[in-house]
A and B are shown apart, each in its own frame.
Chain A
Amino acid sequence: MPHIKRISQSVFFVLTFAFILFSACPTGAQEETPAVAEVSQKLFRADRTNVLIFSLIFAGVILTYTKLAKKGKPLFIRKIAGLDALEEAVGRATEMGKPVLFIPGLQELDEMETIAGISILGRVAKITAQYDTPLMVPVRYPLVLAAGQEAVEQAYIQAGKRDSYNKDCVRYVAGEQMAFAASVNGLMMRERPAANIFMGAFFAESLLLAETGNAAGSIQIAGTARPEQIPFFIAACDYTLMGEELYAASAYLSHEPLLLGGLKGQDLIKVIIIVALVVGMVLILTGNGTRYVELFIPK
């Protein structure tokens, strides 16, 4: 099995090497195939070739790792502190027979952070289903309501607890951000949940929810990809998932090879980006990097 790992890594380093080489003579490639150039000129936005190449590398790496994962290749992912605390917190709520409050962020369903929040909700709901711990999921958008109910219903079915699934545990609380925060704050002080889990896109209300939850004495685990709100979650919560750890969380919790594959793929892209950055900096500092950087500028 190890040789597959070595082959795939060498393939991608060759790819990055070609990517860097290609940057050295960008005009060359187009001249060789004039016919294609005419057609593509009219239709294809030549100024976005860099995005096309980067996207192909990106998709290639992510899909290859996903396929490797599907074939059962062992994938090592380091421990993410906040996530063990998640299972522990829900366990504690079960012992105390107090509810778990889960908020999949305050954005519409068409935000990737909300999708990550919904898929983590699916994993948490599976645990609460097993122990019949009450679960409260206030949401702020109707599409998130629909997706949340689907995710929780599936979790209860898979845990064999279809009958104890209550459709109204996922509920649309209010339209506006602060009305949502006011309602959830009231809910926290009245229901006193044992664990508050905030996973998704949050804005100024992050501290409103987390500080009230702290006053209500709940264990709090938060995760958001928005850099502006992470400091407030760090100040008021017990554990905070930062930036892309939110996206890694659903893969990590599910232990599903397909999702773990994507995570490993992202790591390799990160290595490629770091290599490209270091090469760029060396070229820039030695004064002849303009054409290389030109390659990355979004048009």
Chain B
Amino acid sequence: MNIWQRLAGLHRQWIFILVWIAVIFPLIVPATFEISTTPEVKALYDAVEALPDSSVVMLTFDLYPNALAETEPMTRAALHHLFRNNHKVVTVTTIPLGGPSVAERVTRELAAEYGKVYGTDFVNLGYKPNYVSVLKGMGSSIESIYPADNSGTPLGRLPLMTTVKNYADIAFIFVVTDNGIIDFWISIVNAQFGKPVGAGVTSVMAPKQYAYIGSGQLTGMLGGMKGAAEYEQLVGKPALAVTGMGIQSLVHFLLIGLIVVGNLGFFMNRRSQAKKGGGA
């Protein structure tokens, strides 16, 4: 096993150890970087800034617990932005597992920071199954889909919900999600009800959304942790996303190094075999 064969055939455990080192090392020696803003993030920030004062914004928590490291910073930055510009916030989720409890926890924590009152300034409608009927139903009447909010209080007793009947009373829909539900917010709510939709999505989904930004069906997008970090900077509340970028850079370079090393070993092997084959 010469050096090249070993380089081309590293066992997966070695790679895992290298990734561990690349993640833990910057924690011991923290270093942060200046982050440039991409047009999609600026477009979403400007769209929210341009909303009329104290208009109602629907913020969705269509997210599972496992992607919280990417999606939670987005929901926090969005709530900072919305509460600071004193918009009314209605939160909903189409994900049963995690959506309702994360929405409840994060919204109440940040509402306290801005002195917002539940029922008048913000309401959490929680989860109802069958996202197609939920998204379509809220176009005609929110109450038909959500007779009560996430903690069971009937909508009639919430002052904010007496003024918000359906999408017509909502100025902007800010979707934060880690799954394909964004396609339906666009193909049902934006396409069929003409509501502007902006989205914070995980990194894996971001490329697909370029198709929707290009066709104007999506007004701006936060792509993954980098998008969250840019938005945090724009809103003026740098948090976990910004500090994480140092680790990101190191691991990205490790990956590129691994690809180079793998290919180097691969080529040298092929050459030595060709030589051996040719020689015999």
Query: CB within 8 Å of B: which residues of A?
Result: 175-178, 203-204, 215, 226-228, 298-299
B66 touches A228 (CB 8 A): no
Which residues on the A side are within 8 Å of B67 (C-beta)?
204
Using a CB-CB cutoff of 8 Å, which residues 187-227 of chain B contact chain A? 187, 191-192, 202, 204-205, 207-208
Assess whether A299 is in contact with B179, with CB atoms less than 8 Å apart.
no
B97 touches A228 (CB 8 A): no
Asked whether B279 is an interface residue with its Cβ less than 8 Å from the other chain, the reply is: no
A177 to B180, CA, bound (A): 14
Contact B12 A215 (CB under 8 A): yes
Q: Is B64 an interface residue (CB 8 A)?
A: yes
Cα A176 to Cα B187 in complex, Å, equals 26
Contact B208 A227 (CB under 8 A): yes
| 10 additional contacts (CB under 8 A) given A177-B64, A228-B208, A298-B187 | A176-B97, A178-B64, A178-B66, A204-B66, A215-B12, A226-B180, A227-B208, A228-B207, A298-B191, A299-B192
Inter-chain CA distance A299–B97, complex, in Å, is: 33
Please give, as numbers and ranges, the residues of chain B lying within 8 Å of A227 by CB-CB distance: 207-208
Which chain B residue lies CB-closest to A107? B180
* A204 to chain B: closest residue by CB: B204
Give Cα A270–Cα B39 distance, bound, in whole angstroms.
33
Number of B residues, CB within 8 Å of A = 16
Q: Is there contact, CB below 8 Å, between B207 and A177?
A: no
A42 to B187 Cα, complex, angstroms: 24
Residue of A nearest to B178 (CB): A204
Cβ-closest 4 pairs across A and B: A298-B191, A228-B204, A178-B66, A176-B97
CA distance in complex: A298, B208 (Å)? 19
Chain A residue nearest to B130 in the complex (CB): A110
Are B191 and A228 touching (Cβ within 8 A)?
no
CA distance A299 to B208 in the complex (A): 21
CB pairs A–B below 8 angstroms (20 shown): A175-B97, A176-B64, A177-B66, A178-B64, A178-B66, A203-B179, A203-B180, A204-B66, A204-B178, A204-B202, A204-B204, A215-B12, A226-B180, A227-B207, A228-B204, A228-B207, A298-B187, A298-B191, A299-B191, A299-B192
| Residue in chain B with minimal CB distance to A298 | B191
Q: Total A-B residue pairs with C-beta atoms closer than 8 Å?
A: 26
Chain B residue nearest to A45 in the complex (CB): B192
A177 to B96, CA, bound (A): 12
Bound CA span A226–B179, Å: 11
What is the chain B residue whose CB lies nearest that of A175?
B97
A298: B residues at CB distance < 8 A: 187, 191
User: Nearest chain B CB to A144's CB is how many angstroms away?
Assistant: 16
Question: Cα distance A216–B207 when bound, in Å?
Answer: 31
Q: Give the residue among B67, B191, B192, B204 with the most A Cβ atoms within 10 A.
A: B204
Within 8 A of A (CB), among B160-204: 178-180, 187, 191-192, 202, 204
Contacts of A299 in B (CB 8 A): 191-192
Residues of B contacting A215 with CB < 8 Å? 12
- In the bound complex, what is the Cα–Cα distance between A175 and B208 (angstroms)? 27
Query: Which residues of the other chain, A, contact B179 by a CB distance below 8 angstroms?
Result: 203
Distance between Cα atoms of A203 and B67 in the complex (Å):
12
Using Cβ atoms and an 8 Å threshold, which residues of chain A touch B204?
A: 204, 228
Shortest CB–CB separation between residue A172 and chain B, in angstroms?
16
Bound-complex Cα distance A248 to B242 (A): 44
What residues on A are CB-neighbors of B207 within 8 Å?
Answer: 227-228
Q: Complex formed: what's the CA distance from A125 to B191 in Å?
A: 41
Which residue on chain B has the smallest CB distance to residue A201? B180
Bound CA span A178–B204, Å: 16
CA A63 to CA B127, docked complex, whole Å: 39
B119-144 near A? 1/0 per residue, CB < 8 Å: 00000000000000000000000000
Give Cα A203 to B180, complex, Å.
Answer: 9
Bound-state Cα–Cα, A204 to B208, Å:
14
> A38 vs B103: C-alpha distance in the bound complex, in angstroms?
47
- Identify the closest chain B residue to A226 (Cβ): B180
Enumerate chain A residues within 8 angstroms of B97, measured Cβ to Cβ: 175-176
Within the assembled complex, what's the spacing in Å between the Cα atoms of A227 and B212?
14
Q: How far is the CA of A204 from the CA of B207 in the complex (A)?
A: 15
Q: How far is the CA of A69 from the CA of B271 in the complex (A)?
A: 52
Q: How far is the CA of A175 from the CA of B202 in the complex (A)?
A: 22
A228-B207 Cα distance, complex, nearest whole Å? 8
B280 to chain A, nearest CB (A): 31
Q: Which residues of B contact A204 (CB under 8 A)?
A: 66-67, 178, 202, 204
Assembled-state Cα–Cα distance A203/B182 (Å): 14
Name B12's closest neighbour in chain A (CB-CB).
Answer: A215
Nearest B residue to A181 via CB reads B66
Output the nearest chain A residue to B207 by Cβ-Cβ distance: A228
Given contacts A177-B66, A298-B191, whether A228 and B205 have CB atoms under 8 Å apart is yes
Chain B residue at minimum C-beta to C-beta distance from A203: B179
- Bound complex: CA of A208 vs CA of B247, how far in Å? 22
Shortest Cβ distance from B203 into A: residue: A228
Interface residues of B in 61-89 (CB under 8 A from A): 64, 66-67
Per the bound structure, the CA–CA distance linking A204 and B224 in Å amounts to: 14
Q: How far is the CB of A108 from chain B (nearest CB, A)?
A: 10
- Please, how many angstroms separate the alpha-carbon atoms of A177 and B191 in the complex? 29
Report the minimum CB–CB distance from A46 to chain B (whole Å): 15
> Which residues of chain A are within 8 angstroms of B66 by Cβ–Cβ distance?
177-178, 204
